[in-house]
A and B are shown apart, each in its own frame.
Chain A
Amino acid sequence: MYPVVRIEHLTKNYYLESVTVRALRGVTLTVNQGDFVALMGPSGSGKSTLLNLLGCLDRPTDGRYILGDDDVSHMEDDRLSEIRSRYLGFIFQSYNLLPQYTVVENIEVPLLYQGCRINEKTQQRCIQLAQLVGLGDRLDHRPMQLSGGQQQRVAIARALVNDPHVILADEPTGNLDSKTSDEIMQMLIRLNDAGKTIIMVTHENDIAAWAKRVVRMRDGQIETDERNATPKVAQDVSSAFVATLNSLLVDSVR
């Protein structure tokens, strides 16, 4: 088992005027390739801070974070941007698509910043990804013209396009009804089955029940870290989906 994410004694302090907020107080966690981790905890427990650090959007006050083979704990801003564009995929609660772009253009964005030339081939790949998440007939729609579930699918396709080490999902079903939530979770499960590592923040036990491993946080520390003995299983894991996804990602220009 190859460890994709290794964090050791990670601390993060926020300095607000005279008060110091210790958001993370020494977190150590290793996530292996192909794992599906649900990060849980009440608000203020530090799970969002941890996710921001994992997403290389912020730098820790102390401790080490090794993503893949790179120690990203104290990288400068431009290098972090590069790491994000190459090795990380983001799925947000509020989808966060760019409203001016079409579905395909939204999926392309990470490639653009990765330093990849946009051409016929990359465009074709984006279209195939959109088809994979079931939006083959909405390629030229704008986010405003799509339902919440469809927008989240676009976000998933966008998170896949650079074949990231880790997909970070921040309450991916928070804004969706239970039926659509189910669909989105099934899709994440399929990605996980295809070998993608997923770290997901949620506060719903229902949603966490899909994950293979549940990490609970409290007061900036890990409270419990246990394997889910019987994770929910996707109903129709077609081998075709996995095969298509893999073939698409093997092509990916790195």
Chain B
Amino acid sequence: MAASANQFLLFWDKSRRSFVLAARSLWLHKLRSFLSVLGIIIGTGAVITLMAFGEGSMHDALEDIKRQGATNVIVQSVKPADDSTSQRRSFIAAYGLTYADYEQFLILDCIVGSVPMRYFPQEIRNLHRMYNGRVVGTTAAYRNVNRLELVEGRFLIDSDEVSEPGDDNDLRNVVVLGADVAETLFPFQSAVGQTIVLSKHHYVVVGVLKDRSPITNSGGSAEEFNSDVYIPLSTCRGRFGEKVYIRQSGSRSGEQVELHQVTLTISDIDKVRDAGAVIRDQLERSHLKRDWRVVVPLDRIEEARRAKTRGMVLLFVIASISLSVGGIGIMNIMLATVTERTREIGIRRALGAKRSDITLQFLIEAVVQTTAGGILGALAGISLVFIVPWAGETLFSINVPARLNHEPIILSMSVAILVGIVFGLYPAFRASRLDPIEALRHD
């Protein structure tokens, strides 16, 4: 036990000498060392940077999907392609999900929550102020599904809906404003308790939403949040009817859509896909036209994961190529070093160095070089991870998501060390096999 500890200490002494020597010669030949480890620097830097950007966009995409809810199934109305022969004269397009469809969905026992919604563009007025926003008729559950936060007041509540359908006298005219709407109509004052006008009817503001950027590029649902106002679905139905007229550059077009979107929450994540399939099936049978669409965010998570795996494989290939190129650079410079220092090897051998001592010395030099390269590469990569998003933001106002994890840093550093060992082994071995007499005569 004591003997092996001593052995280790001796080994440590020799290694330390070699480390110091390697560091010294690294410093002495700064440019040469830099050029020879450039491959390693680029390799490590590229891995760290690409991983961070990949991770960042992946994270963003996943967040996006999670916001839509992994246990949700979103059913949307889609305006079908114009059927020019039969519908030519018709100026109101009727399509989409109906209340009947909605009732049908709720029969499924795995559905624990549902949010129906309608939306259409509408002028929102307060005295002389006007905002071209969107009216969204929905229920109280909308808030939870979209994780909305309020700055003041409350969101819609269940008692805002009329108990008996068709009882027009009992419609409650309450509204929750999006952040932009509140800002425009009620600047520098509290909106809650005030009144706005939507198409001749007055509504009392009961709440204002916190500023919330819309979900980007998720393709699925149509939410804008900031320019929306929310009213109870029953009120929406009673006051606006089923037909909506849209004025577009002079011409008027109309559409008749009962529900634009229904978000269904499924009890169990395992049942989401099946529920999606059942709903698709049901709509397939009840609709003549394909005026609907079923979006299952869970599918997109899987898709994103697959894309990530593909990206990782690609990255792995890039990394192995650049690191082996770097390794060959190291091997090249180490072979040159061995030739250059043949005499030194002869001297060391004459003074009692074993072959293994020589191997160890040159191996350590190679590892010190690649490790230095790895550190430089990591620093370069980390700075890029910070610089690129900043530059993208300030110069081109593009959002470049980046997430720096410690795994790729550790991984690429250890690979750099490994490259030093693998590609340093042959030159070190060559050095150790030199004949001491020949080596001493070399100049």
Chain A positions near chain B (C-beta within 8 angstroms): 52, 55, 57-58, 77-78, 81-82, 84-86, 90, 92, 96-101, 109-110, 112-118, 158, 162
Q: Known: A52-B437, A84-B350. Contact between A112 and B343, CB under 8 A?
A: no
Compute how far the CA of A78 lies from the CA of B358 in the bound complex, rounded to whole angstroms: 12
CB contact under 8 A between A55 and B352, given known A98-B344, A113-B357, A115-B10: no
Q: In the assembled complex, which residues on chain A have CB atoms less than 8 Å from the CB atom of B346?
A: 96
Give every chain A residue within 8 A of B28 (Cβ-Cβ): 100
Minimum CB–CB distance from A61 to chain B (whole Å) comes to 15
| Cβ-based interface call for B247 (8 A) | no
**Residues in B neighbouring A84, C-beta threshold 8 A:** 349-352
Give the distance to chain B from A164, nearest Cβ to Cβ, in Å: 10
Q: Pick from B6, B21, B352: contact of A113, CB below 8 A.
A: B352
B289 at the interface (CB under 8 A from A): no
Sample 8 A-B pairs with CB under 8 A, ordered by A number: A57-B350, A77-B355, A81-B355, A96-B440, A100-B21, A100-B25, A112-B13, A162-B352
Q: Which residues of B contact A86 (CB under 8 A)?
A: 352
Minimum distance in angstroms from A197 CB to a CB of chain B = 18
List the B residue with the shortest CB-CB distance to A49.
B437
Chain B residue at smallest Cβ distance from A97: B347
Chain B interface bracket (under 10, 10 to 19, 20 to 34, 35 or more): 20 to 34
* B410 contacts partner chain A, Cβ-Cβ < 8 Å: no
A116 partner residues in chain B, CB cutoff 8 A: 10
Q: Do most interface residues of chain B lie in helix, strand or loop, or is the interface mixed?
A: helix
Name the interface residues of B357-378: CB closer than 8 Å to any CB of A. 357
Considering the chains assembled together, what is the distance between the CA atoms of A212 and B28 in angstroms?
46
Query: From B439, which residue of chain A is reached at the shortest CB distance?
Result: A57
Chain A contacts of B9 at CB under 8 A? 117
For the complex of A and B, 10 pairs with smallest distance between CB atoms: A85-B352, A113-B352, A81-B354, A84-B352, A96-B347, A110-B351, A113-B353, A57-B436, A78-B354, A109-B351
CA distance A100 to B25 in the complex (A): 8
CB contact list, B4-41 vs A, under 8 A:
6, 9-10, 13-14, 17, 21, 24-25, 28
In the complex, the number of residue pairs spanning A and B with C-beta atoms less than 8 Å apart equals 72
**Cβ of A110: which chain B residues have Cβ within 8 Å of it?**
351-352
**In the complex, what residues of B have CB within 8 A of residue A96's CB?**
343, 346-347, 350, 440
Is B348 in contact with chain A by the CB < 8 A criterion? yes
Residues of B within 8 A of A (CB): 6, 9-10, 13-14, 17, 21, 24-25, 28, 343-344, 346-357, 436-437, 440
Assembled-state Cα–Cα distance A116/B10 (Å): 7
Contacts of A101 in B (CB 8 A): 21
Q: Which residue of B lies closest to A85 (CB)?
A: B352
Assembly CA distance A117 to B15 (angstroms): 12
* Interchain CB contact under 8 A, A85 and B437: no
Give Cα A237–Cα B351 distance, bound, in whole angstroms. 29
- Decide if A81 touches B352 in the complex (CB within 8 Å): yes
CB pair B437–A58 under 8 Å, yes or no, is yes
Report the bound CA distance from A161 to B356 in whole Å: 23
Question: In the complex, A78 Cα to B275 Cα: how many Å?
Answer: 75
Additional A-B contacts beyond A82-B354, A113-B351, A118-B17 (12; CB < 8 A): A55-B350, A57-B349, A77-B355, A81-B355, A82-B352, A84-B350, A96-B343, A100-B25, A109-B348, A113-B348, A117-B6, A117-B13
